[in-house]
Structure formats: C-alpha cells, structure tokens
Amino acid sequence: MSMPAVFVSHGSPMLILQDLPARSFLATLGSLLPRPTAIVAVSAHWNTERPTVSTAARPQTIHDFYGFPDALYRLRYDASGAPELANRVAELVGAERDPAYGLDHGAWVPAMLGWPKGDVPIFQLSVQPYRSPADHIELGRRLAPLREEGVLVLGSGSATHNLRRLRRGDNDAAPEPWARQFDDWLSEAVEKGDEAALANYRADAPSAREAHPTDEHFLPLHVAFGAAGPGARGKALHRSFTSGNLSMASYAFA
C-alpha cells in the first residue's frame, strides 16, 4: 500500500472547539485515507536548527499556546509514539533524536480530529526555518520509502499565515484579495506538481510576503510534497478561509 503524503492547515488551537468547515473536514481525514501504520507529523510549531525526531514511547500533549479557554488545556491526545520507526526516520534523514518532545498542537489537533481514538502511533519531525523550501523538499524525499509501508507523512502548517493581518473573531469574513491570490496560486502549483515554483515561492507567488512573513508554517507543505517522490502532483482535499485571510487549504500528494 502506497500512502499519499498530506498537508493540512491546522489553524488556531481553537479549531478543535469551533464549528468551522476546516474542522468538519479534518474530522473526516481518517476516513479519506487508508489507515496508517504510523504518522510522522511535520509541525510548523517545532523549529530546530537541525532536523530532529521525537522518540518518546508515550508522547505528552503539549499546550504550546496561552490565553485560550480552560477547555482547550484539558484536552489530551493519548496516542502512543513509535520509537523504533522514529529511530529509522532519524537514520533516513540524518536527524537528531529528542526523547522528551511530545505532540504540539500542530500535530495533536489534526490527529485528534482525524483519528480520535488515538489508535495510530504518532511522532514528530521538526522543520528548520533557517533552511530553504528546497531543503525541505529534499528532507521529504528521504521519507518517501516509508509510504510503501503505510506510514503517513502529515505536514501540518498553514496555507497562509499572517497573524498581524487576521480579523480575529470574524470567522466568516470574506478572504482578502492578497490571500485569495496566493491561495489560488498555491492550488495551481500543487495540482501541476510544479516543484520549481513551490521551492521558489517567495519570488514566484503573488503576495508571498503578505501570505507568509516567515517560512515555518509553509515548510511542512514542502516536506509532504517531497515525500510523495519526484513527479508528484497534489489534489485539494479542502479549501476554505477564516478570519479574513487564513487559508485552511489541505492537499494530498501522490
């Protein structure tokens, strides 16, 4: 079984408690894909200088945010880790190992929605904001063999991510033109499998600086794209906006 690689936009931690189209989509993710043997979650919220893999047997739920309702901090995702597979991944990509890091909200929010029973082993692989999108495509390529074993490479970030421009509390606001332009460009580049455009998005994409003032929330997409192998193309699994310019687009690559 060759598992597709997937990128999801995980949005605010509040997504798991809100009635939004993106939440409804993520709640179907497990049914849209073959059942994974394990999940390698590549979260925008774990940034390291060098690639690092979490190897905990029982990863803790990390509440890596503040100022949210108490109900959010009471949530726990009790899936097991996969230390043996995590160590293999470390060998494949030349990564360091972290036995203490758990699951940040970029990992546990989509996992809790897609696999609510917590019965699929999951661990994380970090991103390196100081390295290029092309470097992250290559990082993903090293993970490609795992897909033949039913392992899901799950990139979790955001198709657009500009916190200063969000219209907070206005979930139904129409998307701003710059956000729509970037989101449409991304959909076209993904569906064409345009590796050069994705790697050089800062020069090629309209409104790239507005859509991503920094790279970390976009890099998980590059890892997922790379994990699908050379010549991969993507298809949209979901597209919607919230807060005026936060694209919640998600893609599968094969």
**pLDDT tens track for 101-116:** 999 999 999 999 999 9
For residue 65, what pLDDT is reported?
A: 94
Beta strands at 5-9 and 250-253: parallel, antiparallel or unpaired: antiparallel
Q: What gap in Å lies between CA 8 and CA 82, rounded to an integer?
A: 21
pLDDT surpassing 80 at residue 169? no
pLDDT surpassing 90 at residue 173? no
Q: What gap in Å lies between CA 48 and CA 126, rounded to an integer?
A: 6
Q: What is the DSSP string of 135-181?
A: HHHHHHHTTGGGGGGTEEEEEEE-SS--GGG--TT-TTPPPPHHHHH
Amino acid symbol at 21 = P
Q: Where are the domains of the chain?
A: 5-253
CB atoms under 10 Å from CB of 21, counted, come to 14
Tell me the pTM.
Answer: 0.97
To the nearest whole number, what is the mean pLDDT of the chain? 97
Q: Which residue, 179, 184, 159, is CA-closest to 167?
A: 179
pLDDT surpassing 70 at residue 167? yes
Over residues 78-100, mean pLDDT: 98
Angle of the 219-227 helix axis to the 133-141 helix axis, nearest 10: 30
Q: Which residue, 97, 164, 148, is CA-closest to 126?
A: 97
Q: Which two tokens stand for residue 244?
A: 């005026």
Q: What gap in Å lies between CA 143 and CA 85, rounded to an integer?
A: 11
- Residue with the larger pLDDT of the pair 156 and 2: 156
Over residues 41-55, mean pLDDT: 98
Protein fold of 5-253: Protocatechuate 4,5-dioxygenase; Chain B (3.40.830)
At 42, is the pLDDT very low, low, confident or very high (cuts 50, 70, 90)? Answer: very high
Contact (CB, 8 A) for 136 and 223: yes
Amino acid symbol at 155 = G
Q: What gap in Å lies between CA 117 and CA 58, rounded to an integer?
A: 15
At 17, is the pLDDT very low, low, confident or very high (cuts 50, 70, 90)? Answer: very high
For residue 15, what pLDDT is reported?
A: 95
The share of the chain scoring above pLDDT 90, in percent, equals: 94
Over residues 134-158, mean pLDDT: 98
CA angle 188, 252, 155 (to 5 degrees): 105
- Give whole-number Cα distances, 183 to 77, 102, 104, 239, in Å: 31, 31, 25, 9
Beta strands at 96-98 and 52-54: parallel, antiparallel or unpaired: parallel
For residue 201, what pLDDT is reported?
A: 98
For residue 159, what pLDDT is reported?
A: 98
